[in-house]
């Protein structure tokens, strides 16, 4: 096959969609007003912001006033976990439950809180990358103020029993937060039906631009302020709103959640072809994460005797964008904490490759990866 450009790193970030771009552009130049201003360009911006908030709420089955815009998914995670801890401490509850394979936005917030006198229980996933509900139940204490478990893992794509965990929390009167950055637009989510108290999402993982995210907080749940200043975001996150990006998020999330059923089968079929093809063409390779309880577009493999970084560089020379662990992980030499949490040793974790495809990929992309990747693996192994 001719050399192609194949973007297979959609868990790292996605392309901005035409709809999102078209929706946001007027708010950069024509209607650039400050949503807090009283004249008409300001009011136009305020109306667009409200409409965007409504769209994000509808996508989650939430009320408009339960949505807070943030600058990214990491900010939403930080805010949710810190607020729950802060509010919990007021009632003498200083214990948090999370999982060992959360995104660092949650894990490093928890580490910070440990330094402030909180206690954190880290539940390990099983070897398939799934959190056992019984482990959550066992970890609950009288002084637990928060359970934070991600909806779907960003490296291995495994989907966690969020609604079941939420039910356990509700029974025990504990807040449940979920980092749903990888799940929104891929899995049907309804925060009311699923009993979710707080949920984080990020625009750039669902075809909106980088620099916008949102936190859902059920009404009735105390949310401590994040940024002091003006009255924006109901006085809890001051700062003039990123109107254009919020509008783009509204457009993108609507497309993302309404098209799930339509995209799912085709993306899953490509994923299965990729997994089957690579498992049969290459020796000494294993699939990380449960084979089926995973995101439609996630493939995560470990190759014996190979360094993930060398693999990425050679794939890049062939025009294929992929990742080893998560993007933030690739810059460091530490083995992925996610892969270690499901029992991989350092070497297997470092020999991992994540390919994350979506509806923009084609069968030709899959053919191309299946043609080039086995040859690259063979070449790298011959160099040892
Ligand atoms: C990407 C990601 C984040 C961080 O989102 P940003 O908008 O990049 O800060 C958090 N959690 C998960 C699961 C992610 O995949």
Going residue by residue through the chain (384 aa), what tens digit of pLDDT does each one get? 899 999 999 999 999 999 999 999 999 999 999 999 999 999 999 999 999 999 999 999 999 999 999 999 999 999 999 999 999 999 999 999 999 999 999 999 999 999 999 999 999 999 999 999 999 999 999 999 999 999 999 999 999 999 999 999 999 999 999 999 999 999 999 999 999 999 999 999 999 999 999 999 999 999 999 999 999 999 999 999 999 999 999 999 999 999 999 999 999 999 999 999 999 999 999 999 999 999 999 999 999 999 999 999 999 999 999 999 644 555 556 889 999 999 999 989 999 999 999 999 999 999 999 999 999 999 999 988
Q: 10 Å Cβ neighbour count for 334?
A: 12
| Predicted pLDDT of residue 326 | 47
Tell me 27's DSSP state: G
- Distance (angstroms) between ligand 1 centre and the Cα of 104 equals 9
| Predicted pLDDT of residue 327 | 46
Query: Residue 330: which of 309, 355, 346, 347 has the closest Cα?
Result: 309
Q: Measured from the CB, is residue 179 less than 6 Å from ligand 1?
A: yes
- Distance (angstroms) between ligand 1 centre and the Cα of 40 equals 35
In angstroms, rounded to a whole number, what is the distance separating the alpha carbons of residues 269 and 179? 26
Q: Measured from the CB, is residue 72 less than 6 Å from ligand 1?
A: yes
- Distance (angstroms) between ligand 1 centre and the Cα of 91 equals 30
Q: Measured from the CB, is residue 76 less than 6 Å from ligand 1?
A: no
Query: Residue 93: which of 109, 75, 113 has the closest Cα?
Result: 113
* Angle in degrees, CA 378, 379, 381, rounded to 5: 65
Q: Measured from the CB, is residue 74 less than 6 Å from ligand 1?
A: yes
| Predicted pLDDT of residue 220 | 97
Q: In testing the pocket of ligand 1, which one of 148, 151, 182, 289 has its CB within 8 Å of the most ligand atoms?
A: 182
Q: Measured from the CB, is residue 202 less than 6 Å from ligand 1?
A: yes
Residues 6+ apart with CB under 8 A from 41: 31, 32, 33
Q: In testing the pocket of ligand 1, which one of 179, 180, 242, 245 has its CB within 8 Å of the most ligand atoms?
A: 179
Residues 6+ apart with CB under 8 A from 301: 275, 278, 285, 286, 287, 288, 352, 353, 355
Q: Measured from the CB, is residue 73 less than 6 Å from ligand 1?
A: yes
Query: Residue 324: which of 292, 356, 283, 357 has the closest Cα?
Result: 356
* Residues identified as active-site: 328
| Predicted pLDDT of residue 229 | 98
Q: In testing the pocket of ligand 1, which one of 10, 13, 73, 203 has its CB within 8 Å of the most ligand atoms?
A: 73
User: Which residue's C-alpha comes closest to atom 3 of ligand 1?
Assistant: 73
- Distance (angstroms) between ligand 1 centre and the Cα of 315 equals 24
Q: Measured from the CB, is residue 14 less than 6 Å from ligand 1?
A: no
């Amino acid at each position: 096959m001719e050399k192609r450009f194949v973007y297979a790193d959609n868990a790292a970030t996605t392309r901005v969609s035409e709809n999102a771009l078209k929706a946001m552009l007027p708010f950069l130049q024509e209607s650039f007003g400050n949503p807090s201003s009283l004249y008409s360009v300001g009011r136009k911006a305020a109306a667009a912001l409200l409409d965007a908030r409504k769209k994000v709420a509808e996508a989650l089955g939430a009320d408009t006033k339960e949505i807070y815009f943030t600058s990214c998914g990491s900010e939403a995670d930080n805010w949710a976990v810190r607020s729950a801890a802060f509010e919990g401490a007021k009632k003498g509850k200083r214990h948090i439950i999370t999982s060992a394979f959360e995104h660092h936005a949650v894990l490093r917030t928890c580490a910070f809180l440990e330094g402030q006198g909180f206690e954190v229980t880290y539940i390990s996933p099983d070897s398939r990358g799934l959190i056992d509900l019984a482990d959550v139940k066992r970890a609950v204490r009288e002084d637990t103020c928060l359970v934070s478990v991600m909806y779907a893992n960003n490296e291995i794509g495994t989907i966690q029993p969020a609604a079941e965990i939420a039910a356990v929390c509700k029974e025990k009167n504990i807040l449940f937060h979920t980092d749903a950055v990888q799940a929104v637009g891929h899995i049907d989510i309804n925060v009311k039906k699923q009993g979710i108290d707080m949920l984080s999402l990020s625009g750039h993982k669902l075809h909106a631009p980088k620099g916008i995210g949102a936190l859902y907080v059920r009404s009735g749940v105390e949310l401590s302020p994040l940024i002091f200043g003006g009255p924006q975001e109901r006085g809890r996150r001051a700062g003039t709103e990123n109107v254009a990006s919020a509008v783009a998020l509204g457009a993108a999330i609507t497309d993302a959640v309404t098209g799930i059923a339509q995209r799912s089968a085709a993306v899953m079929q490509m994923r299965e072809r990729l997994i089957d093809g690579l498992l049969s063409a290459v020796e000494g390779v294993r699939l990380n994460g449960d084979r089926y309880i995973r995101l439609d577009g996630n493939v995560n493999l470990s190759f014996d005797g190979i360094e993930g970084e060398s693999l990425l560089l050679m794939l890049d020379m062939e025009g294929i964008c992929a990742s080893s662990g998560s993007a933030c992980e690739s810059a460091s030499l530490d083995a992925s904490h996610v892969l270690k949490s499901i029992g991989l040793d350092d070497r297997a974790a470092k020999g991992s490759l994540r390919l994350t495809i979506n509806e923009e990929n084609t069968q030709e992309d899959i053919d191309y990866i299946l043609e080039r990747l086995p040859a690259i693996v063979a070449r790298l192994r011959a160099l040892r």
